[in-house]
Amino acid sequence: MKQVLRKGLKSIVVEEVPDPLLQPHHVLVRPAYSLISSGTETASLHTDGVVAELRHNPSHLQKIAAVAKLNGPVRTFAEVKAKFSEYAVLGYSGAGVVAQVHPTVSDIGVGQRVAFGGEGSGHGETVLAGRNLVVPVPGDVDLQHATFATLGSIALHAVRIAGLGLGETVAVIGLGLVGQLVAQLARLQGASVVAIDLKPERIELASQLGADHAIPAEAAGEIRSRTGGRGADCVIIAAAAKSSAPCLQALDICADRGRLVVVGAVPIDFPWHEMYLKEIKLFMSRAYGPGSYDPAYEKGGQDYPISYVRWTENRNMAEFLRLVSIGKVNVERLVTHQYEITEAAAAYRTILDPEARSLAVLLRYPAPDARPQAEAGNAERPVLVTPRRRVEVAPRPHGASDLRVGLVGAGNLARWVHLPIINRTRGLALRAVCSTSGARGLSYAKRFGAGYCCSEYEELLDDRNVDVIFILTRNQHHAEQAAAALAAGKHVFVEKPMALTVDECRMLEQAVRDSGKQLTVGFNRRFAPFYVEQKRHLAGRTTPKVVNCRVNSPGISGSYWMADPAIGGAILGEACHFVDLMHWLLEAEPVEVNAFSLPTGEAHPVGENNLVASFRFADGSIGNLTYCTVGSRTSGGERVEAFAEGIGAATENFTRLEVKGSTRRTRTSWWPDKGYEGLVQSFITAVREGRTPPVDVHDGTRATVGCLEMLESARARAPRPIGFDRPLELVG
């Protein structure tokens, strides 16, 4: 399908990308029109160049420096350079016809006219949209006008946040798309609306659309004379600016004990003294309304009960279209330009050109199939078009004997670690990149020289030219995808955790035996130079040892997907590294664990992610793991101490090793080497030689079982045996 993308910092291109794959609680839509959000979208186009962008946002340099400290200057420079050619999705508002419905959606039918929204839905010929970000379009509303549902819900939510009442005076600063809609909606609330902008044509339009007063920004002081010297009861800032001028003006014209509502993208810099003297109430309006940025609502399809949350994102979108349908809101006058999707670059040039006097710019798409509207709940109707989920890319040349790699899961780990390693590993060639994001898949495929990108995992499984599959998706998909790859006759590199349950471990153990193929798990610490040296200092000592692992991961918190205990949380997802590391350092099997966690069932912090566990090993050694997500980012990451008779060795953050025996030795490194490359090379060597890799399916099983028993011990407040006895003698 064709999709509008930003290439690098400012170029607008239309590229062929794989059609999105239908997901649970989502529908696929074939748009008729999409609306370019001139404020939000053009803010991501850095037309002034890199130097100007850094001047406006010097924090970028601090971020680059922090990344370089973690990843080294060479890798960081490569990623900064890649930003000049990467693709990014633009757009989040449109309308069209439903092409396909997931079985989890029962109240939307194929062929139904809908408006859609949602970050990342984009300007494309096929759009994947969450059910709660799709609303039916009333029969008397043109699809051109229905494209305003998303921006309309933003404006409607801002008006709700403002709490306007009959007879109040509200000033709207900034008469772009959202500002024009806010002005119309505020008037419906019974407020007297004063519309303010720098551009005369926008001021005139607001007046024609019903604003009680429409004045230029330099005359905003007139509000006092129109309100008996009091000022505006409420000021809604709908402007987009790089300076705090709109905020300062809003404060100046706001009445004593008035309200300020920020809906536009502006730096918030209010003088404390004036805010204090006027006792101003400041409100932030967040996107479309309740549900915004909540993955459970937007992606998981979990609605909020209407009795408790009257106006959600979805209900705001539907209400806005109702107001358009009955003529209470006029959006037709806001449309100034239309372009075909293939002319997207010209559309963005129009928006950026002050002389064009653009406001709402629409993109048109090939007409959707005009079949009759389906009844709600009919998910069996055929799709309107045949999806294209594979796009060919010019590959880099490779040798006839090279192992060809298909990679699924094009996230940051793939970009920073695995794809560069695949490219520079002798005897490996990247065949394909599979990603649910067509733009990201295309970016990575072109950058790293793949033959094609795709959005459907089965493409890799069915490709006879793929020898090895690297699985870098989210944790809950690892076991199923690894088993499918083995069944398809592929060798498998799966990131940790290999599995989330004992049954999944059993399944993969069996799949490896049945397929005769090799599987390795991403336990890279075994190959990190300082951990390798730490183990060497422990080797040869036959008496039991003591290991202590302290890990601080504050990033695994909040709404970050890995913090969710339902899909393993931090313990199965990350602490599995240290179950494996202790086993490897000690060369002994864990046999028992006793663990304690913070109180569970809490949102912040997630108790299941903060745990202290003591392990007993078969050779009499003992180990302790402290894993927390509540520390600060300056508290340090990981420290692993190992003690044996006459010696102690500690590794910290991959950059420091201390060995204390008869003498004291310290080694440090500027940049961390986490062992990723050594792990991949060891796996590829094992595949070529037809032998079991150093990290195998049994190691993946051990780590998963150890973590499951750790969590169960904390839940039951009792020690738990770890029933790992290769290959499948596992306790449930």
What are the C-alpha distances in Å from 182 to residues 90, 188, 283, 316, 371? Answer: 23, 10, 15, 13, 36
The pair of three-digit structure tokens given for residue 162, joined into one six-digit string? 């403002």
Give residue-wise pLDDT tens across range 78-130. 777 777 788 999 989 999 999 999 999 999 999 999 999 988 788 999 999 99
Q: Are 404 and 468 in contact (CB under 8 A)?
A: yes
Polymer length in residues for the chain: 732
pLDDT of residue 680 exceeding 50, the answer is yes
Q: Where are the alpha helices (DSSP H) in 470-521?
A: 478-487, 502-515
Question: In sequence order, what DSSP letters do the residues of 105-163 get, joined into one string?
Answer: --S--TT-EEEEE-TT--SBSSEEEEGGGEEEPPTTS-HHHHTTHHHHHHHHHHHHHHT
Q: Which of 43-57, 329-343, 388-402, 469-483 has the lowest mean pLDDT?
A: 43-57
**pTM, whole model, 2 decimals?**
0.89
Q: What are 13-37's pLDDT values in tens digits? A: 999 999 999 999 999 999 999 999 8
d(CA 219, CA 430): 62
- The structure tokens listed for 213 are 């007063």
Share in percent of the chain as helix, strand, coil (round to 5): 35, 25, 40
How far apart are the C-alpha atoms of 726 and 716, rounded to whole Å? 26
Most confident listed range (4-13, 577-586, 599-608): 577-586
pLDDT average, residue stretch 275-304: 94
Q: Over 60: is that where the pLDDT of 701 sits?
A: yes
Residue range 541-559: mean pLDDT, rounded: 91
Residue 719 makes CB contacts below 8 A (sequence gap 6+) with: 592, 593, 594, 713
Exposed/middle/buried for residue 430 (C-beta within 10 Å: 0-12, 13-18, 19+): buried
- pLDDT of 379 reads 39
Q: List own/partner pairs for 78-84 with CB under 8 A and 24 or more apart.
A: 78/420, 79/415, 79/416, 82/415, 82/447, 83/8, 83/9, 84/8, 84/9
C-alpha 416/C-alpha 331 separation (Å) is 45
Q: How far apart are CA 631 and CA 636, in angstroms?
A: 9
Tell me phi and psi for residue 165, to 5 degrees.
-130, 170
Q: Which residues contact 561 (CB under 8 A, 6 or more apart)?
A: 295, 474, 567
Residue at token pair 């045996």:
721
Is 204 a residue whose pLDDT tops 80? yes
Which residues sit opposite 468 in a β-bridge?
405, 491
Q: For tokens 């898949």, name the residue.
A: 441
3-state SS assignment for residue 355: helix
pLDDT value for 152? 97
Enumerate helices (H) and strands (E) in the chain, giving the number of each: 25, 32
Domains of the chain by start residue, with CATH: 2-44+90-148+294-364 (3.90.180.10), 155-284 (3.40.50.720), 390-522 (3.40.50.720), 525-672+695-721 (3.30.360.10)
Q: Which of 533, 527, 523 is nearest to 580 (CA)?
A: 523
Of 303-307, 438-442, 634-638, 650-654, the range with the lowest mean pLDDT is 634-638
* Rg of the chain on CA atoms, in Å: 29
Q: What is the pLDDT of residue 248?
A: 94
Cα dihedral 613, 614, 615, 620 in deg (nearest 10) = 170
Whether the bond into 366 is cis, omega within 30 of 0: no
pLDDT reading at 43 higher than 90: no
**Under a CB-based contact definition with an 8 Å cutoff, are residues 655 and 672 in contact?**
yes
561 — phi, psi (to 5°)?
-60, -35
Q: What is the mean pLDDT of the chain?
A: 90
